[in-house]
Amino acid sequence: MIKNFILKIKKKEFSVCIIGLGYVGLPLASRLLKKKIKLFGIDTDSKKINLLRKGKSYIQSSDQSITKYFKKNPNNLSTNYEIVSKCDVIIVCLPTPLKPNSTKPDMSFVFNCAKNLKRFIKDNHVVILESTVYPGATREFGNKIIKKNFNLGKNLFLGYSPERENPGDKNFSYKSTPKVISGYSDNCKIIIKNIYNLFVKRTVLVNKIEEAELSKLLENLYRAVNIGLVNEMKIICNKLGIDIFNTIDAASTKNFGFQKFLPGPGLGGHCIPIDPFYLSWISKKNGYEPKFIKLAGIINSQIPNWTIKQLHKIIKIKKKTKILLLGVAYKKNTDDDRESPSFEFIKILNKKKIKYDYCDPYFPKLRKGRNVSKIKYSIKLTKQNLKNYDATILLTDHSNFDYDLIANNSKIILDTRGKFKSTKFKDNLNIIYS
Ligand SMILES: NC(=O)c1ccc[n+]([C@@H]2O[C@H](COP(=O)([O-])OP(=O)(O)OC[C@H]3O[C@@H](n4cnc5c(N)ncnc54)[C@H](O)[C@@H]3O)[C@@H](O)[C@H]2O)c1
């Protein structure tokens, strides 16, 4: 049976259902489509399903081929799990956030999905989890799917492959980035390797599922800790009167043992601020309280407050003071504002009763909530508008901001990204790096 199935995979005579068509699931669908693999998709958000059926996308960077495909094949999309019975392979790309007001993993999306899958699972289905999870979670997920007469690794194949998607990075591709894969049994590993080999140039087969799960957490923790380190260096440099960006540039010339990380306004996104808690939760549960994770979290989360303190040092805050925030996306060139530090800045400004506006081409408006008291619209970047603000804080260094216009018309700029560091702006005395 395995040999036949692998032959079918190699000939692309199989179909895939992606569960969760978000920032990870939709690009994955595009990759599979490019390889001419028959696709289905499930998302419980009916608005998303309806948009895709109309050939529209809710993710600006998604490519048109996938929306065209779903417009042509509207029945391949559903909010209902029933369609998994039409597919051979199921890839799960569901959110793994933290529980509300807590630092504990919220696995409810993934485990509810397992409950739903259980109703429609059939012999020889392949189920692969791509969500970021703590070590051991994929096995828990697998055990929640199996029903009587099913045997994991024998007639139900389970695997885990962490996603490395880098939203906003046009150069990201699995032609140059390897993908870690793992499987419950040897048969699972062979099947999963053959599936990913179709659209990933280099797969890295890891012996145990838990190693693959932990490798993803290590990757993100590595970023969180190193960003914490450069953010702390930024505070130290400020005290010493030394330029942090020139310092990092100098250190980066070492061609071994050093990787460049840049300071910023704080951590954002669905991964870096969240995933370290997945690791600390499982570690604490097993009797060890991690130190690095906690410290990096403390340093990164104090940056918005520290930046506003710098603002206080350079301008006198009056009743009429008005600040312009540039960027609400957590990262440049994306329409993703999850966990964005910009909302922390808004919270601090509100608390201090300092008025603010914002500009972000990816977010024409901000809905009420997340520290935004009433609906707000992105302002237009014009000479006159920029001159109206006492200070401009650059939070997200989108490529489509007009940096010459900003530099030449803002009274004061607090640059949290080092975007103005080029020699072009060296004579602009209104730019402060913080
Ligand atoms: N966004 C990234 O850059 C990135 C990168 C690497 C890994 N990850 C990980 O990948 C996973 C998915 O992240 P994402 O950014 O794509 O999330 P997302 O929120 O963009 O997408 C998840 C989708 O799942 C849908 N959904 C929720 N519950 C569902 C259910 N029970 N059944 C079907 N659909 C459901 C949501 O409507 C949403 O469209 C997370 O574990 C994340 O940590 C994300």
pLDDT tens-place string over residues 352-402? 999 999 999 999 999 888 888 889 999 999 999 999 999 999 999 999 999
The verdict on the CB of residue 52 being under 6 Å from ligand 1 is no
Same fold, 2-209 and 239-433: yes
CA of 388 to the centre of ligand 1 (A): 40
pLDDT of 229-255, one tens digit each?
Answer: 999 999 999 999 999 999 999 999 999
Task: Please tell me the predicted confidence (pLDDT) of residue 166.
Answer: 87
β-pair type (179-183, 156-160): antiparallel
Fold of the domain built from segment(s) 239-433: Rossmann fold (3.40.50)
Structure-token pair, residue 414: 């607090």
CA of 107 to the centre of ligand 1 (A): 12
Residue 423 pLDDT more than 80?
no
CA of 26 to the centre of ligand 1 (A): 10
Residue 429 pLDDT more than 90?
no
What is the pLDDT averaged over residues 304-325? 93
Q: Whose CA is nearest to atom 1 of ligand 1?
A: 23
CA of 102 to the centre of ligand 1 (A): 19
Looking at the CA of residue 130, tell me the nearest atom of ligand 1. 10
The verdict on the CB of residue 270 being under 6 Å from ligand 1 is yes
pLDDT band at 340 (very low <50, low <70, confident <90, very high): very high
Residue 148 pLDDT more than 90?
no
**For 283, what's the count of Cα atoms within 13 Å in the CB-facing half-sphere?**
17
pLDDT of 7-62, one tens digit each?
Answer: 999 999 999 999 999 999 999 999 999 999 999 999 999 999 999 999 999 988 78
Task: Please tell me the predicted confidence (pLDDT) of residue 291.
Answer: 94
Residue 94 pLDDT more than 90?
yes
What is the pLDDT averaged over residues 311-319? 90
Task: Please tell me the predicted confidence (pLDDT) of residue 422.
Answer: 82
Looking at the CA of residue 131, tell me the nearest atom of ligand 1. 41
The verdict on the CB of residue 112 being under 6 Å from ligand 1 is yes
What is the pLDDT averaged over residues 85-104? 96
What is the pLDDT averaged over residues 198-205? 96
Catalytic, out of 17, 113, 188, 271: 271
Identify the residue with better confidence: 317 or 144. Answer: 144
Task: Please tell me the predicted confidence (pLDDT) of residue 93.
Answer: 98
Task: Please tell me the predicted confidence (pLDDT) of residue 373.
Answer: 86
Task: Please tell me the predicted confidence (pLDDT) of residue 73.
Answer: 97
Q: In the block, which residue shows the tokens 């007001």?
A: 101
In the chain, where the domains are located: 2-209, 239-433
Residue from 21, 24, 141 whose mutation best tests the ligand 1 pocket (most atoms within 8 A of CB): 24
Task: Please tell me the predicted confidence (pLDDT) of residue 61.
Answer: 78
Task: Please tell me the predicted confidence (pLDDT) of residue 147.
Answer: 85
Q: Is 113 noted as a catalytic residue in this protein? A: no
**For 229, what's the count of Cα atoms within 13 Å in the CB-facing half-sphere?**
12
What letter represents residue 185's amino acid?
Answer: S
Looking at the CA of residue 271, tell me the nearest atom of ligand 1. 43
Arithmetic mean of pLDDT over the chain: 95
Per the CB < 8 A criterion, the answer to whether 207 and 22 are in contact is no
Task: Please tell me the predicted confidence (pLDDT) of residue 168.
Answer: 82
CA distance 426 to 429: 8
Fold of the domain built from segment(s) 2-209: Rossmann fold (3.40.50)
The verdict on the CB of residue 173 being under 6 Å from ligand 1 is no
Task: Please tell me the predicted confidence (pLDDT) of residue 60.
Answer: 82
Signed CA dihedral, 328, 331, 335, 339: sign only? negative
Structure-token pair, residue 207: 């012996």
pLDDT of 117-143, one tens digit each?
Answer: 999 999 999 999 999 999 999 999 999
